[in-house]
Chain A
């Protein structure tokens, strides 16, 4: 992954994770899978990176977690968005829209970028 792509992802990861969590509670690996599925493989993330972001979001009170039992013995951590997380998500989406609109205007793109398959 290029450094610039990495920077773009860092800026949008919190937004996307919170967005997915507002729809349903999810465990870490499922979030990675959803990133991959919904972006058609364009937005991938390492699990370690995801946990650093979830850790920060949880420290800020935007996400909570609980441990659920899978099968007889195995456990896994499931993440939820909190009320303050929902408000934070609204702010992030608003900021994102502003930035993207501004960047599109500078790049003379009104209809968005055409992506090659």
Chain B
């Protein structure tokens, strides 16, 4: 229970921190250690954790000493996620089309393709019709 709560807190904080990846990882690791060293009774609930360490937003804001705007960061992250999802979708569609085309080519070159032979017969002329 304690570990899950800490991990959720660390994850929420990490999502808001915008700094070099190595620095972010090192800080979150330290934070995990500092909280983890506390006795269970001192941080028994999420409320107690927030009261003592601050909300993830406060913590992230504090680490980013340049006073970065968290709302702006959230919007930028959402936009980036949206763009990535759109690019991924387009790539998926292209990949699917290429695979279908390749399978089709493979079938045709390996004799899987169906051949249709259309034969035309010239019907004999029946009575009543005059040949010119």
Contacts and interface: CB of A to CB of B under 8 A. Distances in A.
Interface of A: 10, 28, 46-49, 51-53, 55-56, 59, 74-77
25 contacts: A10-B62, A10-B65, A46-B53, A46-B58, A46-B59, A47-B34, A47-B52, A47-B53, A47-B54, A48-B31, A48-B52, A48-B53, A49-B58, A49-B62, A51-B30, A51-B31, A51-B53, A52-B59, A52-B62, A55-B26, A55-B27, A55-B63, A56-B63, A56-B65, A74-B37
Interface string B61-83: 01101000000000000000000
Interface string B7-33: 000000000000000010011001101
B39 A48 contact: no
Contacts of A51: 30-31, 34, 53
A59 B23 contact: yes
Given A56-B63, A75-B37, 9 more contacts: A46-B53, A46-B59, A47-B54, A48-B31, A49-B58, A51-B30, A55-B26, A55-B63, A56-B65
Given A48-B58, A52-B62, A55-B63, A77 B34 contact: yes
Nearest to A58: B30
Nearest to A46: B54
The A interface, classified by DSSP as helix, strand, loop or mixed, is helix
Contacts of B26: 55
Interface residues of B, dominant DSSP: helix
B65 A49 contact: no
Interface of B: 23, 26-27, 30-31, 33-34, 37, 39, 52-54, 58-59, 62-63, 65
B34 A53 contact: no
Contacts of B27: 52, 55
Contacts of B34: 28, 47, 51, 77
A64 to B, nearest CB: 13
B37 A52 contact: no
B39 A74 contact: yes
B59 A48 contact: yes
A75 B26 CA distance: 19
A15 to B, nearest CB: 14
B2 to A, nearest CB: 14
B104 to A, nearest CB: 58
B121 to A, nearest CB: 89
